[in-house]
Structure 1
Amino acid sequence: MQIDLIDRKILRNLQRNADISHDDLGAQVGLSRNACWRRVRALEQAGFIRKRVVLIDPDRIGLKLTVFLMIRTDRHGPDWLEEFAKATQDMPEILGAYRMSGDLDYLLQARVADVAAYDALYQKLIRRVELADCSASFVMEELKDTTELPV
Structure 2
Amino acid sequence: MHTIDETDRRILSHLQHDASISLDALGEAVHLSRNACWRRIKALESAGVISSRVTLLDPDSLGLGLMVFMMIRTSAHAPDWLEMFKKATRAMPEVLGVYRMTGDLDYLIRARVADMADYDRLYQALIRRVPLSDVSASFVMEQIKDTHELPL
Q: TM-score range by the shorter chain?
A: over 0.9
3-state SS of paired residue (2:151)? coil
3-state SS of paired residue (1:110)? strand
The whole-number CA distance in structure 2 between the counterparts of 1:149 and 1:117 is: 31
What is residue 30 of structure 2 aligned with on the other side? Answer: 29
What is residue 50 of structure 2 aligned with on the other side? Answer: 49
3-state SS of paired residue (2:71)? strand
Q: After TM superposition, which residue ranges in structure 1, 4 or more long, deviate above 3 angstroms?
A: none
Alpha-carbon offset, residue 125 of structure 1: 0.1
What is residue 89 of structure 1 aligned with on the other side? Answer: 90
User: What whole-Å deviation, never above 9, does each CA across 1:23-72 have from its counterpart, x for those lacking one?
Assistant: 10011111111111110111011100111110010000000000000000
The whole-number CA distance in structure 2 between the counterparts of 1:24 and 1:72 is: 48
3-state SS of paired residue (2:72)? strand
User: What whole-Å deviation, never above 9, does each CA across 1:89-122 have from its counterpart, x for those lacking one?
Assistant: 0000000000000110000000000000000000
The whole-number CA distance in structure 2 between the counterparts of 1:29 and 1:43 is: 15
3-state SS of paired residue (1:14)? helix
The whole-number CA distance in structure 2 between the counterparts of 1:40 and 1:70 is: 38
The whole-number CA distance in structure 2 between the counterparts of 1:23 and 1:44 is: 19
Percent identity over paired residues: 66
3-state SS of paired residue (1:36)? helix
What is residue 141 of structure 1 aligned with on the other side? Answer: 142
TM-score, normalised via structure 1 length: 0.99
What letter is aligned with 1:133?
D
What is residue 123 of structure 2 aligned with on the other side? Answer: 122
What letter is aligned with 1:144?
K
Alpha-carbon offset, residue 129 of structure 1: 0.3
What is residue 39 of structure 1 aligned with on the other side? Answer: 40
3-state SS of paired residue (1:20)? coil
What letter is aligned with 2:89?
T
What letter is aligned with 1:94?
V
